Structure 1
Amino acid sequence: MFSKLYARIKQWERSWKSSFGTDISTPQARRAARRHNNIVDHAFLRRVLPNRYKLSEDAWRSNQPDPVHFPALAGIGIKSVINLRGPDRFSYYLFEKEACSDYGMALYDHELFARVLGNPQDYLDLLDLMEKVEKPMLIHCKSGADRTGIAAALYLLDQKGASIDAARAQLSLKYAHQRWSKAGILDHLLDSYAAYCETDSISVRDWLANHYDPEAVTASFLAKRSRG
């Protein structure tokens, strides 16, 4: 009985969340979209806690930027924004797309997941994207913790010649990343690259293109979690 009730509540919640926040073309629609952004996507928290940090002269990382953040982003010279959440029809994406246009920033969508590894091409395409966009760039997901963390780590390894320890530091509690959670699979991705380099030191691009096996890395992570 309780499982059925819980399923009905979750179904109602999903239906309610998708019932508004898909239009910003009128003042009334914008107000509804702002409510959606605040309540459903938790923008009220990010508005005061942007989780924004400088990676290099060319790159910054943060959580989902709110329109109120764009004056500050313009102030630090951001020219390109890489959105790791992918395109969407809801409020947060509509406001971001509008703000990027208003401030002359190019918006690029490249979807990643926090608890499921991407395939090799997902990460190789991201490295290519981070290399080619006009700088300085901002990399973000929703919270700026997990997807942004692995993107920042790969950027530092590939384009700044950083050490594996420096890359690992991008996935830490400082950015609200929880290694012990399911998102720890991203740490395991870096650990797998580091383990390979112990016997054959190669670039992260080479490893991703020729040696990275997401199914094997996932299986190894799950086995590690099962052991506690």
Structure 2
Amino acid sequence: MNPPANSLGHPPGDTMFSKVYARIKQWERSWKSSFGTDISTPEGRRAARRHNNIVDHAFLRRILPNRYKLSDDAWRSNQPDPVHFPALAKIGIKSVINLRGPDRFSYYLFEKEACADYDMTLYDYELFARVLGSPDEYLQLLDLMDSVEKPMLIHCKSGADRTGIAAALYLLDQKGASIDAARAQLSLKYAHQRWSKAGILDHLLDTYAAHIEADPIPVRDWLANHYDPEAVTASFLAKRSKG
């Protein structure tokens, strides 16, 4: 016999579990934001390093930078750690485009400091992995990638999704790459999972590919005059609902 449901129609155990889970998540969010916002003192730096390793998983990226060359002018990677900057300086990086946007936490503070130490200009430009940008957001990103001093490094947190779509758009716009070469920037090689919600970025490129079969226009023209993020999102969700 099933246990009686509460007024919302859920078994009592479900409600209790949901409350406990919500409290755990609330505690986790509070703990994650309780430190790692200061690198101005030795104690603050130690706490920030712990935050960077535990909360932002820097210990993994320190070993696996997910760094690849796109062209003589551009590289892609995950969030660079200070230990990576000697290698970045060696390959001549002059500009760093941070697709995570500015933040008050450890990873950003260490990156900002390292860029200053190695005479690299840091540009903050926030994108999202599971939500499409507007036409203007992608066009402005193309303008930014076109205008910064080269060679440049493009990165997000893991170097998989946001970095992948930025790399794809860069190759299409500034290197005249084929759509297949652009699509390859969103692949398991870079830890991108097409079947996840981040697959909406693949769907963006697929939509452009379908358009240029009949109307072969540059990606900038498509973004400015044909790209509809709401329609692309709707078709992606419909496709996912069919399995």
Q: Which amino acid aligns with 1:94?
A: L
Task: Say which SS state the counterpart of residue 139 (structure 1) adopts.
Answer: strand
1:71 has 2:78 as partner = no
Matched ranges for 1:1-228 at <5 A: 1-228=16-243
Number of positions where the alignment pairs a residue of Structure 1 with one of Structure 2:
228
Q: Which amino acid aligns with 1:211?
A: H
Task: Say which SS state the counterpart of residue 122 (structure 2) adopts.
Answer: strand
1:170-225 deviation per Cα after TM superposition (whole angstroms, max 9, x unaligned):
00000000000000000000000001111111000000011000000000000000
Looking at structure 2, the residues matched to 19 and 205 of structure 1 have their Cα atoms a distance apart, in angstroms, of 42
1:22-71 deviation per Cα after TM superposition (whole angstroms, max 9, x unaligned):
00000000000000000000000000000000000000000000000000
Task: Say which SS state the counterpart of residue 70 (structure 2) adopts.
Answer: strand
- List 4+ stretches of structure 1 deviating above 2 A: none
The TM-score normalised by the length of structure 2 is 0.94
The TM-score normalised by the length of structure 1 is 1.00
Alignment identity in percent? 90
Task: Say which SS state the counterpart of residue 63 (structure 2) adopts.
Answer: coil
Looking at structure 2, the residues matched to 179 and 2 of structure 1 have their Cα atoms a distance apart, in angstroms, of 32
Looking at structure 1, the residues matched to 191 and 130 of structure 2 have their Cα atoms a distance apart, in angstroms, of 15
Looking at structure 1, the residues matched to 179 and 58 of structure 2 have their Cα atoms a distance apart, in angstroms, of 33
Looking at structure 2, the residues matched to 214 and 4 of structure 1 have their Cα atoms a distance apart, in angstroms, of 36
Give 1:10 deviation, angstroms.
0.3
Looking at structure 2, the residues matched to 57 and 32 of structure 1 have their Cα atoms a distance apart, in angstroms, of 37
1:90-122 deviation per Cα after TM superposition (whole angstroms, max 9, x unaligned):
000000000000000000000000000000111
Looking at structure 1, the residues matched to 57 and 225 of structure 2 have their Cα atoms a distance apart, in angstroms, of 39
Looking at structure 2, the residues matched to 97 and 157 of structure 1 have their Cα atoms a distance apart, in angstroms, of 29
Q: Which amino acid aligns with 2:135?
A: P
**Structure 1: tracts of 5 or more residues without a match:** none
Give 1:158 deviation, angstroms.
0.1
User: Greater Rg, structure 1 or structure 2?
Assistant: 2
Q: Which amino acid aligns with 1:124?
A: L
Looking at structure 1, the residues matched to 238 and 214 of structure 2 have their Cα atoms a distance apart, in angstroms, of 23
Task: Say which SS state the counterpart of residue 65 (structure 2) adopts.
Answer: coil
**Structure 2: tracts of 5 or more residues without a match:** 1-15
1:108-144 deviation per Cα after TM superposition (whole angstroms, max 9, x unaligned):
0000000000001110000000000000000000000
